[in-house]
């Protein structure tokens, strides 16, 4: 496998965003359909404008029942119209779509999706989509029954077949008392996802039928009911991988430790665990039938040899608190590779590991990553250089992608979504189709 073939070089970093060169603002059209989630489009506009992009909001007439044009104009700094009969002298009905680098429609109602499928051009938003040659991302939001209705599902399949990217909706509380799939993802999730699409990653719904199991976060080992040994992993990298794998159409299980504050990635099932041994059991159970297994969790290598049932007291339990005896935890990644080698996992399952490394006098972070890759026996290793404020708890990531038979591929600093997209692209190249 040659993972250098299509990865961005050091000069064309993930997402086209370079720390050294200021990026060009993008022309982004935010289309807004007439659903209660239209209010979240205000936050989405902010996500883009704060990133330096030029945003043009194009609501449907129905969307203005929920949020006024003045709000969108103030937030975007651009005029707002719904009809092809405004600014006729500027030929607005084609100009907006022609100039766009990205069109994101959030929320997209069932009715708006049906109109897009029909190729209607009776308002500015549908006319803009017909004209646009840039990526178009449709973010549905509706009641579960409407989402699951075969009419909507057929319409979504049609849009995907035509190259329009349709995001999987989130699962959760809807407008009434009901709960289920159909909720608009959080604006930050939409913006992160849309940026990876503009960067050319994973636009296809090409992992339908694939099962992906991902560990994320940091495991914690209890000392007593209130104290634990843990680490600084935020879990963001694993959550980004889960989100993108689900958006590619895979069935995703996310085995998550200490990540309660992160929004659940759309279309994934989250299994919460605490300790390393709980994570090991969950990965064994859910990994058994998986096509892809990703160990992105920061696993606590050691645990106290015993855990107190009640809180240790400073005076009375001085010995237990001042000297904690540790025993080694299982290596979950190594265990999964061994199980695959014994034929206990799905044939051809791809296993991805991570390495958090710092360099020292004896070797660079990359040297240590290469020897870890050898030791662990996984198919792909994403090696992060950590320390000096890098990676742990941060919103960006950087390092190298290592794959068997290929030169290490530098992954320049990018958001965890951009890095996740590159990891999935590397997996995709070796995955049996
Ligand atoms: N890992 C694991 N089980 C462990 C320790 C690590 O499955 N007990 C996995 C991590 O999820 C990661 C990879 O192994 O995918 C490397 O983790 P890292 O912390 O970098 O390395 P360690 O194996 O812990 O080795 P060391 O800390 O000595 O560098």
DSSP string, 362-411: TB-HHHHHHHHHHHH--SEEEEEE-BTTBSTT-SEEEEEEEETTS--EEE
Pick from 176, 199, 222: which residue ends a domain?
Answer: 199
How many residues appear in the chain?
433
Q: Residue 90: pLDDT band by 50, 70, 90 thresholds?
A: confident
Q: Do residue 348 and residue 266 come from a single domain?
A: yes
Could you tell me if residue 280 is inside a domain? yes
- Confirm whether 3 is domain-assigned: no
Catalytic residue at 11?
no
Please check whether residues 102 and 242 belong to one and the same domain: no
Whether residues 346 and 383 fall in one domain: yes
- What is the C-alpha to C-alpha distance for residues 250 and 370, in angstroms, rounded to an integer? 30
In a shared domain, residues 182 and 124: yes
Q: Does residue 125 sit within a domain?
A: yes
* Same-domain check for residues 161 and 296: no
333 lines ligand 1 (CB under 6 A): yes
Q: Rounded to the nearest whole angstrom, what is the distance from the C-alpha of residue 297 to the centroid of ligand 1? A: 8
**Domain assignment present for 11:** no
Do residues 228 and 221 touch, judged by C-beta distance below 8 A? yes
Q: Residue 67: name the closest of 40, 29, 98, 100 by CA.
A: 40
Residue owning tokens 């008392």: 177
Q: Is 237 in the pocket of ligand 1 (CB under 6 A)?
A: no
- Residue 332 Cα: closest atom of ligand 1: 7
Using CB atoms within 10 Å of the CB of residue 404, give its burial: 0 to 12 exposed, 13 to 18 middle, 19+ buried: middle
pLDDT band at residue 392 under the 50/70/90 scheme: low
Q: What is the mean pLDDT of residues 185-190?
A: 94
Q: Are residues 147 and 43 in the same domain?
A: yes
> 130 in helix, strand or coil?
helix
379 pLDDT more than 80: yes
CATH number at residue 231: 3.40.50.10300
Q: Is the dihedral of CA 424, 202, 143, 159 positive or negative?
A: negative
Catalytic site residue from 155, 231, 329, 384:
231
Cα 131 to the center of its chain, rounded Å? 29
Residues 260, 388: Cα–Cα separation, whole Å: 26
What is the rounded CA–CA span in Å between residue 30 and residue 136?
10
For 46, the enclosing helix (H) or strand (E) is: helix 38-49
Query: Which atom of ligand 1 lies nearest, measured to the CA of 334?
Result: 7
3-state secondary structure of 314: coil
pLDDT at 20 > cutoff 70 = no
Q: How far is the centre of ligand 1, averaged over its atoms, from the C-alpha of 298 (Å)? A: 7
pLDDT at 8: 31
- The yes-or-no verdict on residue 43 having pLDDT over 90 is yes
Mean pLDDT of 95-99: 94
354 lines ligand 1 (CB under 6 A): yes
What is the mean predicted confidence (pLDDT) over 379-396? 76
Cβ count near 173 (within 10 Å): 11
Asked whether residue 376 is marked as a ligand-binding residue, the answer is yes
Specify whether 194 is located in the same domain as 216.
no
Q: Tell me, what CATH number does 67's domain have?
A: 3.40.50.1950
Residue 169 lies in a domain: yes
- Kindly state whether residues 173 and 239 are assigned to the same domain: no
Instruction: Give me the percent of the chain exceeding a pLDDT of 90.
Output: 76
CA Rg value for the chain? 24
Residues 48-77, mean pLDDT to the nearest whole number = 97
Instruction: Tell me whether residue 21 is in a domain.
Output: no
Q: In which domain, by residue range, is 342 found?
A: 211-312+322-430
Give Dmax over CA atoms of the chain in angstroms.
83
Q: Which helix (H) or strand (E) covers residue 171, if one does?
A: strand 170-173
**Which atom of ligand 1 lies at the shortest distance from residue 297's CA?**
11
- Asked if the structure places residue 4 within a domain, the reply is no
Closest residue by Cα to atom 28, ligand 1, is 301
The span from the CA of 292 to the CA of 213, in Å, is 6
Domain boundary among 199, 228, 246: 199
Output 404 or 66, whichever has higher pLDDT.
66
Residues 122 and 188 in one domain: yes
pTM of the entire predicted model? 0.89
70 and 217 belong to one structural domain: no
Question: Under DSSP, is residue 327 helix (H, G, I), strand (E, B) or coil?
Answer: strand
Backbone torsion region of residue 196, taken as left when φ is above 0, otherwise alpha when ψ lies between -120 and 50, otherwise beta: alpha
* 53 in the same domain as 148: yes
Whether residue 195 is found in the same domain as residue 221:
no
Residue 410 lies in a domain: yes
> Which domain-ending residue is among 152, 178, 199?
199
| Total number of domains in the chain | 2
Output the average pLDDT for the chain.
90
């Amino acid at each position: 496998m040659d993972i250098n073939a299509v990865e961005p070089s050091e000069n064309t970093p993930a997402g086209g965003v370079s720390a050294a060169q200021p990026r060009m603002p993008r022309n982004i059209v935010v289309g807004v359909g007439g659903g209660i989630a239209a209010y979240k489009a205000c936050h989405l506009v902010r996500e883009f404008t704060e990133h330096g992009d030029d945003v043009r909001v194009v609501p449907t007439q129905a969307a203005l029942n929920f949020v006024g044009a003045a709000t969108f104009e103030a937030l975007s700094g651009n005029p707002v119209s719904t009809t092809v009969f405004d600014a006729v002298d500027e030929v607005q009905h084609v100009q907006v779509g022609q100039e766009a680098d990205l069109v994101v429609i959030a929320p997209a109602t069932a009715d708006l999706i049906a109109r897009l499928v029909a190729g209607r051009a009776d308002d500015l938003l549908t006319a803009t989509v017909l004209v646009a040659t840039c990526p178009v991302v449709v973010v549905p939001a509706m009641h579960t029954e409407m989402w699951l209705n075969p009419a909507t599902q057929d319409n979504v399949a049609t849009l995907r077949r035509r190259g329009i990217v349709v995001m999987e909706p989130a699962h959760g509380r809807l407008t009434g008392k009901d709960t289920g799939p159909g909720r608009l993802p959080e604006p930050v999730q939409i913006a992160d996802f849309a940026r990876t699409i503009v960067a050319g990653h994973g636009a296809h719904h090409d992992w339908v039928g694939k099962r992906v199991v991902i560990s994320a976060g940091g495991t914690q080992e209890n000392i007593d009911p209130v104290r634990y040994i843990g680490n600084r992993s935020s879990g963001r990298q694993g959550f980004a991988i889960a989100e993108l794998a689900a958006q590619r159409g895979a069935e995703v299980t996310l085995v998550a430790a200490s990540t309660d504050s992160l929004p659940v990635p759309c279309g994934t099932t989250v299994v919460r665990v605490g300790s390393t041994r709980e994570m090991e059991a969950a990965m064994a159970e859910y990994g058994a039938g998986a096509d892809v297994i990703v160990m992105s969790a920061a696993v606590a290598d050691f645990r106290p040899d015993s855990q107190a049932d009640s809180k240790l007291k400073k005076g009375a339990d001085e010995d237990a608190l001042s000297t904690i005896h540790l025993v080694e935890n299982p290596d979950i990644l190594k265990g999964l590779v061994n199980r695959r080698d014994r034929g206990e996992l799905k044939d051809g399952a791809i296993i991805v590991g991570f390495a958090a490394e710092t360099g020292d006098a004896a070797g660079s972070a990359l040297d240590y990553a290469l020897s870890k890759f050898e030791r662990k026996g996984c198919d792909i290793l994403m090696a992060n250089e950590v320390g000096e404020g890098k990676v742990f708890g941060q919103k960006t990531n950087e390092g190298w992608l290592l794959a068997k038979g290929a030169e290490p591929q530098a992954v320049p600093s990018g958001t965890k979504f951009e890095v996740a997209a590159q990891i999935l692209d590397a997996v995709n190249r070796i995955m049996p189709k």
